[in-house]
Amino acid sequence: MLWKDYYSPTTLDEVLDLLEQHAGQARIMAGGTDLVIELERGLRQAPTVIDVTRIPDLDAVTLDDDGLIHLGPLVTHNHLVDSNIIIERAFPLAQAAWSVGGPQIRNRGTVAGNVITASPANDTITPLMALDASVTLASKQSRRTVAFEDFFLGVRQPALADGEMLIDIAFPAMRETERGCFIKLGLRRAQAISVLNVAVVLDFNGDTVTRARVAMGSVAPTVIRAPQAERVLVGSVLDDDAIDETARLASRAARPIDDLRGTAEYRREMVRRLTRRALRQLRDATERAGWPQKRAMLWGPNGPQPSRLAASAVHQNNGQQPIETVVNGKRVTIRNANGKTLLDALREDAGLTGTKEGCAEGECGACTVWLDGVAVDACLVPAPRAHGAEVVTIEGLAASENPTVDDVHPVQRAFILEGGVQCGYCTPGLIMAGAALLRENTSPTMGEIKQSITGNLCRCTGYYKVLSAIERAAADLS
Ligand SMILES: Cc1cc2nc3c(=O)[nH]c(=O)nc-3n(C[C@H](O)[C@H](O)[C@H](O)COP(=O)(O)OP(=O)(O)OC[C@H]3O[C@@H](n4cnc5c(N)ncnc54)[C@H](O)[C@@H]3O)c2cc1C
Ligand code: FES
Ligand code: FES
């Protein structure tokens, strides 16, 4: 049992009341991509979970009349990647969001959750630091705004008091004369946390830098700025000497440690190289060169649809409140699953064992289902989150309940015909990801097909046949 009481409030006021009533016992849950794992591993205790994802209108990215961009507490990484405001006026943040996990993680994980977890390796913190962001925190008694530079007290230590909720992240939109970029070094290109990352935002007058902000992640207990490097940049033209000197000073500001992902020495050297690469990109105006024109979101043709409860709900483990949900088009009542993940509830209580558990921590995508039309990892979704929602599992993809090869879903048929299955363990998740892609993009390029399965691992097929199968299904559907 991961928690005792699970609340789904539908207003902010209710959240603040609940935080006060359950002082010291309650934890806010947004996407759950950090919190569910912490609870599973026993790293955190939270007898009371307050799931804030049913509160309407908290997922907006807006630009106000003062030129400030605001992110609501339910803005996910995929919301950022899809936002023209972010792509045009806060490009390093769009790049950072695109580098997070895979599509299923980006569909659930929020920027607020990333910030509150406060790991120095968390990717959105670095560009937000370079963009001079601040957070607004609300409790029953007060409301306060804290600059990013004052918000991170140490490794995973945000300056968030018990009873507070982050309700806004704000920062100035980049002006026309400003340019910026974010570069991440991971052990692979998806589903990998940063070995280190760098964000640079510069303002120019002609070729001369008039303002510089250089931020670095995973090189100190918190994300840090490199003030000496910034000072050297101001007044310079970005020639090779200025770039090399700035990169050297950024590397000197780093205070990394040795860990599993790299030694301190390696990190210091890579700070130098990444900073140099970022500055060269900004000098040559090539920072947007690799930005994909179409991005695999796996959230359906119309983007994420609001999933709201008409009224707030509470699911207590010692209570009788069943989870009333719709699975594969049928109304389903699930009892005694209030303290479980959706994956366990589907497999153990709804009898739907097609959805597999590979890792139980968001890494493998074997548990991919669609929650209100959006592809998610069911192992990181609390079962009561399905109350009043719609879930589609692998069993619901085919046109009939006992399909033949002729009436399975086109992606399922293509997997059979292309030999995209060996042991079959990863197959349901890959098919749910591929089918999600084809709902939003009927003629994907091979690059987009690859993007769509970056949240899924297969240990057998080597992926080529899987990619061919999704390509074939797209051709069959067009
Ligand atoms: C497989 C995998 C890959 C990942 N890859 C990356 C990666 O590449 N880069 C990266 O940076 N991260 C990565 N992550 C981490 C994770 O996805 C992010 O940190 C995510 O943004 C957290 O957001 P969430 O909504 O899921 O937070 P939750 O898990 O819901 O919450 C996280 C913390 O924030 C608190 N919280 C959430 N919202 C609020 C609020 N509004 N007010 C107060 N407290 C709040 C919660 O109580 C909890 O302590 C990965 C995670 C997984 C499982
Ligand atoms: S991602 Fe859910 S079981 Fe691996
Ligand atoms: S077919 Fe065996 S894990 Fe993918």
pLDDT digits (tens, 9 = 90+) for 376-399: 999 999 999 999 999 999 999 987
Distance CA 342, CA 451 (A): 25
Cα 153 vs. chain centroid, distance in angstroms? 23
Yes or no: say if 478 and 471 are a contact pair by the CB < 8 Å rule: no
Pocket of ligand 1 contains residue 109 by CB under 6 Å? yes
The candidate with the shortest Cα–Cα distance to 446, out of 467, 463, 431, is 467
CATH of domain 57-284: 3.30.465.10
pLDDT tens string 210-247: 999 999 999 999 999 999 999 999 999 999 999 999 99
- The pLDDT of residue 407 is 86
- The pLDDT of residue 317 is 86
135 band by pLDDT with thresholds 50, 70 and 90: very high
Pocket of ligand 3 contains residue 453 by CB under 6 Å? no
Calculate mean pLDDT across residues 329-354: 96
Residue 132 has pLDDT above 80, yes or no: yes
- The pLDDT of residue 228 is 98
Calculate mean pLDDT across residues 438-446: 96
Residue 130 has pLDDT above 70, yes or no: yes
Distance CA 28, CA 24 (A): 12
Strand partners, 172: 68
The candidate with the shortest Cα–Cα distance to 35, out of 385, 372, 352, 289, is 385
What distance in angstroms lies between residue 239's CA and the mean position of ligand 3's atoms? 50
Residue 404 has pLDDT above 70, yes or no: yes
Pocket of ligand 3 contains residue 146 by CB under 6 Å? no
How many helices (H) and strands (E) in the chain? 17, 20
Calculate mean pLDDT across residues 274-298: 97
Query: CA separation (Å) from 250 to 236, 244, 300, 339?
Result: 16, 10, 42, 46
Report residue 329 as tokens. Answer: 């088009």
Distance CA 64, CA 45 (A): 38
> Which of ligand 2's atoms lies nearest the C-alpha of 359?
4
Query: CA separation (Å) from 332 to 122, 181, 346?
Result: 38, 47, 10
Task: Give the position of tokens 């692979």.
Answer: 188
Distance CA 112, CA 117 (A): 9
Pocket of ligand 1 contains residue 272 by CB under 6 Å? no
Calculate mean pLDDT across residues 40-44: 91
Strand partners, 143: 138
pTM over 0.95: yes
- For a ligand 2 pocket test, name from 105, 355, 361, 432 the mutation site with the most ligand atoms within 8 angstroms of its C-beta: 361
Calculate mean pLDDT across residues 117-136: 98
- For a ligand 1 pocket test, name from 8, 12, 16, 33 the mutation site with the most ligand atoms within 8 angstroms of its C-beta: 33
Which of 173-210 are b and which e, b meaning 16 or more Cβ less than 10 Å from the residue's Cβ?
A: bbeeebbbbbbbbbeeebbbbbbbbbbbbbbbeeeebe
What distance in angstroms lies between residue 10's CA and the mean position of ligand 3's atoms? 40
What distance in angstroms lies between residue 32's CA and the mean position of ligand 3's atoms? 26
- The pLDDT of residue 307 is 66
Phi-psi region of 101 (alpha: psi -120 to 50; beta: other; left: phi over 0): left
Query: Cβ-count burial of 436 within 10 angstroms (0-12 exposed, 13-18 middle, 19+ buried)?
Result: buried
pLDDT tens string 280-290: 999 999 999 99
- The pLDDT of residue 261 is 84
Query: Cβ-count burial of 348 within 10 angstroms (0-12 exposed, 13-18 middle, 19+ buried)?
Result: middle
Residue 308 has pLDDT above 70, yes or no: no
Q: What are phi and psi of 165, to 5 degrees?
A: -125, 140
Distance CA 82, CA 97 (A): 10
pLDDT tens string 2-37: 899 999 999 999 999 999 999 999 999 999 999 999
- The pLDDT of residue 311 is 86
3-state secondary structure of 361: coil
Pocket of ligand 1 contains residue 274 by CB under 6 Å? no
What distance in angstroms lies between residue 36's CA and the mean position of ligand 1's atoms? 9
Task: Give the chain's mean pLDDT.
Answer: 95
Q: Where are the domains of the chain?
A: 57-284, 410-477
Yes or no: say if 187 and 261 are a contact pair by the CB < 8 Å rule: yes
Calculate mean pLDDT across residues 146-160: 97
Yes or no: say if 172 and 89 are a contact pair by the CB < 8 Å rule: no
Phi-psi region of 361 (alpha: psi -120 to 50; beta: other; left: phi over 0): alpha
pLDDT tens string 448-478: 999 999 999 999 988 999 999 999 999 998 8
- The pLDDT of residue 478 is 85
**Longest alpha-carbon distance in the chain:** 70
Pocket of ligand 1 contains residue 46 by CB under 6 Å? no
- For a ligand 2 pocket test, name from 357, 432, 458 the mutation site with the most ligand atoms within 8 angstroms of its C-beta: 357
Calculate mean pLDDT across residues 138-149: 97
| Domain 410-477 = CATH 1.10.150.120 | yes
